Amino acid sequence: MTSTGVSNLTRPILALLLAASGLLAAGCAVRQVVSWRNYGDLEDEGGIWTAIALDARDGILYRPIVSDIGYGGTRYGPLHAVLHAGLLKAGMAPIPSGFLIGLVTAAAAIAGIYQLMRRLKVPASFAIALTSFFLAAFSVRSGILSIKADLLAAALDVWGLIATLPLADPIQKPEARRWPATLLAGTCFALAAASKITSLFGIATVVTWLLLRGKTKSAARLVAVFCIAVTAAVLAVQWASGGRAIGVFAASAAAGGGLGRLAQAPLFFFPAIFSRDRVVGGFWIAAVVMILTRRNWTSLETLLLGYSTLGTMAIFGSRGTDMNHLMDLHLASLLVLAVACQTGWIARAALLLMAAISLHAAHSCINDVDYIRQHHPRAAMLACLADAAASPVRGPLFAENPILPILAGERPYVLDCFMFSVIDLKHPAVGDRLRDDLARQRFRAVIVTGELTHNTMPTPTDPWPGFLILMRTRYELKATEGRNLVYLPKRR
């Protein structure tokens, strides 16, 4: 490839890549419009993030595990919730403000990926095409309007990587000229961790990369800035939460995981990338093949894929891990392919595979549109609230998806039903009040989500099914709205 494009041998492939990326971007844009209108990607986790932001807006950062306002417990980082709370204080509605954060952070992540590719000497036209392929992963295109912190963390990690590149410049620069890059990179990585506590792949990658290049002082400075920034963030959050944050994280962070579950992590990781999101699996395989072919073991992109693979696999050793955690792995695979697939017949084969996968993803966007329009999640949610209005009881609404009480103008009673089930499994006394509330028919309606399978909360070993059994002794099914089952109190 030349600095302005590609050689004649690969120009047709570049045209195919650009066409595939254009179709993918157009399909994704249509999908996002339909998703915005119909809440197509807004599920339980988005409700949890929104509920945390509403609590923060009202001065309750990280609510207690048990308190007068209900049940807390979360392992989510504070930055996204604080940004969301700021928009809420400015007068925006809960769901549109969450969607806005998703769109802005997606744009920042995409711009960062393009800039990082260009800094890694990827030609502009090739970088444009491959940057668009970031949208091919279901975790990315569904994450834009899901109200989660994954894209925010990914964007900060990418810009941290960009800021780090000058530190490995073989031309020694004065100390004063290296500090700005160090401060910027360390701050970006710390903010990424504050967005999503598992976002440590970026800092691990660049520190290893600098050490392998003999930049020991630069690596040490970066680690110091990162540690100081993280410590400052932890202390600030602990203070802002009234001393609760560390205790809440301690109770919630492992989410029922352990060494046994960690050892089984590959059994959950590989099915996730090869059956639940084949786009990620396809890009990952292509990236691994290119690394084995080129054997450039110490490059930035290779190290990033290595840490992302091992880290993501470990994350799948924790119960409750979902597809959103594949976003970092997809990003790393994309960077490897952008740098490695510039010459050679194996690279051309990989590019053709990427184009085919991305065309499949573009078609999936259209399927997503049809699915969202057919099931209309927003209409189903509003129908649930209408069903609850017919209740003979005037108490609060209890819903597995916190978005439902938020739409009703109420504070969710249980912040995170999955996390509640994990905590109650270890400390049964925690759930006594909820059991009593159900027995006394305190709630005007109880709304649970769909069929219980191994892919949805809860798993058979969680105590939540026990709560459902208790609930059904005092409540009866009145309506099914989409995946939502609406139970109203039985008349005494």
Residue whose token pair is 């994704």: 28
117-155 pLDDT per residue, tens: 999 999 998 899 999 999 999 999 999 999 999 999 999
pLDDT value for 174 = 58
For residue range 153-185, list pLDDT tens digits in order: 999 999 999 999 998 876 656 555 688 899 999
- Please give the structure tokens belonging to residue 164: 């780090």
Q: What is the 3-state secondary structure (H, E, C) of 280-316?
A: HHHHHHHHHHHHHHHCCCCCHHHHHHHHHHHHHHHHC
Omega cis (within 30) before 458: yes
What does the pLDDT average to over 48-70? Answer: 94
% of the chain exceeding 90 in pLDDT? 63
Average pLDDT over residues 275-298: 89
Q: What's the pLDDT tens digit per position in 211-220?
A: 999 999 999 9
Higher local confidence (pLDDT), 340 or 109: 109
Q: What is the mean pLDDT of residues 252-281?
A: 75
Which one has a higher pLDDT value, 283 or 6?
Answer: 283
Please report, rounded to a whole number, the percentage of residues in the chain having pLDDT higher than 70: 90
Q: Where do the domains of the chain lie?
A: 11-366, 377-489
Range of lowest pLDDT (105-109, 152-156, 417-421, 452-456): 452-456
Instruction: Please give the single-letter amino acid code of residue 239.
Output: W
Q: What is the pLDDT of residues 84-121, one digit of tens each?
A: 999 999 999 999 999 999 999 999 999 999 999 999 99
Angle at 365 between CA 362 and CA 371, to 5 degrees: 150
Average pLDDT over residues 360-380: 93
Residue 3 has pLDDT above 50, yes or no: no
Do 24 and 362 meet the contact criterion of CB atoms below 8 Å apart? Answer: yes
Residues in Cβ contact with 179 at an 8 Å cutoff, skipping those fewer than 6 apart: 221
Interstrand relation of 475-481 and 66-67 (parallel, antiparallel or unpaired): unpaired
Is the pLDDT at 424 greater than 90, yes or no?
no
How many other C-beta atoms can be found within 10 angstroms of the C-beta atom of residue 217? 13
Closest to 34 in 3D by CA, of 465, 368, 413, 420: 368
Spatial contact of 71 and 414, defined as CB atoms under 8 Å apart:
yes
Q: Is the pLDDT of residue 8 over 90?
A: no
CA distances from 78 to 49, 376, 408 (A): 10, 31, 25
Nearest alpha-carbon partner for 299 in 53, 120, 461: 120
pLDDT at res. 483: 85
Task: Write out pLDDT tens, residues 240-250.
Answer: 999 999 988 88
Higher pLDDT, 412 or 461: 412
Q: Which of 166, 242, 154 is nearest to 201 (CA)?
A: 154
Query: For the residues 459-488, what does the mean pLDDT come to?
Result: 79
- Which of the four pLDDT bands, split at 50, 70 and 90, describes residue 457? very low
pLDDT at 323: 78
Encode burial over 424-447: b for 16+ CB neighbours within 10 A, e otherwise.
bbeeeebbeebbebbeebbbbbbb
- For residue 343, the model assigns a pLDDT of 74
- Rg over alpha carbons for the chain, rounded to the nearest Å, is 24
| Overall average pLDDT of the 299-319 stretch | 89
The structure's pTM equals 0.91
CA distance 84 to 80: 6
